């Protein structure tokens, strides 16, 4: 199974496939509403607004595996993102990024771009993966890497 074949579900219950984003540069992020890194929503939204017309998509995947920092249901997550950070980039249903129920997208991302010392596990919310327009995972970023710091890595892929 390639990245393009992976089934997704949006926060509002729509079925998508990663293939729906073919030809786009993707920044895939596991997000949470009650995390110390939650203010990164502002930077992610800024990146999205700046580059969405140039082929960049930010894809947010809520995750509640780290300190119960995403306890809400889909409606609560959507409301928080809209009201607090005016998020307009695509948000998806809550996923697991580690363990036996790891979402297939995160299984592929972690295999393609392991972390420090080759570990595949996601260490915390707001870990980011850059996927090029051909569907190749280019880079993995730590939660501490700000969206602004990623901007330079997007340059080669802008349309």
Domain count, the chain: 1
- Please check whether residue 17 lies inside any domain of the structure: no
- Please check whether residue 103 lies inside any domain of the structure: yes
pLDDT value, residue 1? 67
pLDDT tens column, 123-151: 999 999 999 999 999 999 999 999 999 99
Average predicted confidence (pLDDT) for the chain: 94
Cβ neighbors of 78 (< 8 A, separation 6 or more) are: 11, 12, 91
pLDDT tens column, 5-58: 899 999 999 999 999 999 999 999 999 999 999 999 999 999 999 999 999 999
Cβ neighbors of 35 (< 8 A, separation 6 or more) are: 66, 67, 69, 70, 124, 125, 126
Given 26, 28, 31, 35, the catalytic residue: 35
Write out the E strands in 100-153: 128-131, 137-141
- Residue 64 belongs to a domain with what CATH number? 3.40.30.10
Q: How far apart are CA 144 and CA 19, in angstroms?
A: 29
**35 noted as active-site residue:** yes
């Amino acid at each position: 199974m390639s990245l393009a074949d992976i089934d997704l579900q949006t926060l509002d219950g729509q079925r998508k496939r990663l293939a729906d984003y073919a030809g786009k540069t993707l920044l895939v992020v596991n997000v949470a509403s009650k995390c110390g890194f939650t203010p990164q929503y502002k930077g992610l939204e800024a990146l999205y607004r700046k580059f969405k017309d140039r082929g960049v998509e930010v894809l947010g995947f809520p995750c509640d595996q780290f300190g119960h920092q995403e306890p809400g249901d889909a409606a609560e997550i959507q409301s928080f993102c809209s009201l607090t950070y005016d998020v307009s980039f695509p948000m998806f249903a809550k996923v697991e990024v580690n363990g036996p129920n790891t979402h297939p997208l995160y299984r592929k991302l972690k295999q393609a771009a392991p972390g420090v010392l080759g570990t595949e596990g996601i260490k915390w919310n707001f870990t980011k993966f850059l996927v090029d327009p051909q569907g190749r995972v280019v880079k993995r970023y730590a939660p501490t890497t700000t969206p602004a710091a990623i901007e330079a890595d997007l340059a080669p892929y802008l349309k």
